[in-house]
Amino acid sequence: MIKDLPENKVKDIAIAVALEKESAESKIWYVYLINLKNEPIENVLITSRGYGEKDGKPVKTSTLRHMFPVVGQRAFKVIEPIDEQTFGLNNEYWLSYYIGKNIYDKKFIFLPESIVDVNFIRLPVVNKVGVMIL
Give the whole-angstrom CA distance, residue 115 versus residue 88.
9
- Quick one: pLDDT at residue 27? 87
DSSP single-letter state for residue 23: -
8 in any annotated domain:
yes
Average confidence (pLDDT) over 55-60: 92
How many domains does the structure of the chain reveal? 1
End-to-end CA distance of the chain: 29
Confidence check: pLDDT of 1 > 60: no
CATH code of the domain containing 36: 2.60.40
134 in any annotated domain:
no
Confidence check: pLDDT of 3 > 70: no
- Residue range 4-37, pLDDT digits in tens: 556 789 999 999 999 988 877 888 999 999 999 9
Confidence check: pLDDT of 117 > 70: yes
107 closest CA partner among 126, 91, 123, 122: 91
122 in any annotated domain:
yes
Chain centroid, CA 32 distance in Å: 6
Range of the domain at 51: 2-126
46 in any annotated domain:
yes
